[in-house]
Amino acid sequence: MSIDDEGSTPSGTQPDEVVVPATVAKPPKGDPVVQALTVTILIIVALTLVTVIYAIVGGVFGSGSPKTMGENKLMNTAAAIKAGNKDPQVWVAYISALIGDRQYQLAQETIERGKKTLAKQDVNQDMVYMQATLDEAQGNNDKALATAELAIKAIKKANEEAKVNYKKTGNPTESMILEDNASYWDLLLLKAALLEKKSEWKKALAVYDEYLSVKETAATVFTQRGNVKEKLGDKKGAEADYRQTLVFISDNKDALAGLKRIGVAK
């Protein structure tokens, strides 16, 4: 069909109608919906990046919250002591955690505070036990051993004096049960371990014997004594101790390794 006059249109098409091919259709610029979606996506990306960066920085520099059981123990016991707790076992736990975290100076300062703050340290020797533990951690084994031995003697002396007072007065508060003194038994194990480091096997064996004569269900201590007996050439004694550990803990790796070392099957 021909175009007769300027401004005329082909047949079948309405005047002023513009035909736009579908392949070039585009959303109008400045569409508020598109803008809103774009902004939302950018915000999500930004927040994700911030979270990732925070996690990386927190992992390197610390977030202030405990990440391990040791850190949790350290924070909890520190808070308890700051709040005025005077339970010796809480102080022992706190100092032990400090030593485990290699905060030796703070551990020493806390020991000195504990000697002044906690009751009955002449009897319980909790802080002296911690002093020996701190000395060992810093490699002062001879000093640690001497400190542990003095504390053990002090506790035994206090126990004997308590027995005498109890006989005189009949007052149960005057008595002292050695078995209930946690630090005494911890000191014995520390002493035995220090003697092992010095290869004084017979002395170490005597300490383990004393411990196990009372603490008959201390499963892992039987293996510790078995190791000493093995060093002394007492394979039968060592085997008996390793097997005693397995009575309590059937898959104890140290006991099983001990049996293997001495050539005995499980």
The predicted-structure confidence for 198-248, as pLDDT tens digits, reads as follows: 999 999 999 999 999 999 999 999 999 999 999 999 999 999 999 999 999
3-state secondary structure of 169: helix
> CA 210, CA 136: separation in Å to the nearest integer?
22
> Which CATH number, 2.30.29, 1.20.120, 3.40.50, 1.25.40, labels domain 64-198?
1.25.40
- Out of 12-16, 162-166, 213-217, which region has the weakest mean confidence (pLDDT)? 12-16
Q: CB-based contacts of 77: which residues, under 8 Å, 6+ apart? A: 90, 91, 93, 94, 97
3-state secondary structure of 3: coil
Confidence class for position 69, pLDDT limits 50, 70, 90 = confident
- Out of 33-37, 72-76, 244-248, which region has the weakest mean confidence (pLDDT)? 33-37
Q: Token pair for residue 231?
A: 């060093």
Contact 188, 149 (CB under 8 A): no
Q: Token pair for residue 182?
A: 């946690």
Backbone conformation region of residue 176, classed left if phi is above 0, alpha if psi is from -120 to 50, else beta = beta
Q: Write down the architecture of domain 201-266 according to CATH.
A: Alpha Horseshoe (1.25)
> CA 143, CA 101: separation in Å to the nearest integer?
21
Confidence class for position 66, pLDDT limits 50, 70, 90 = low
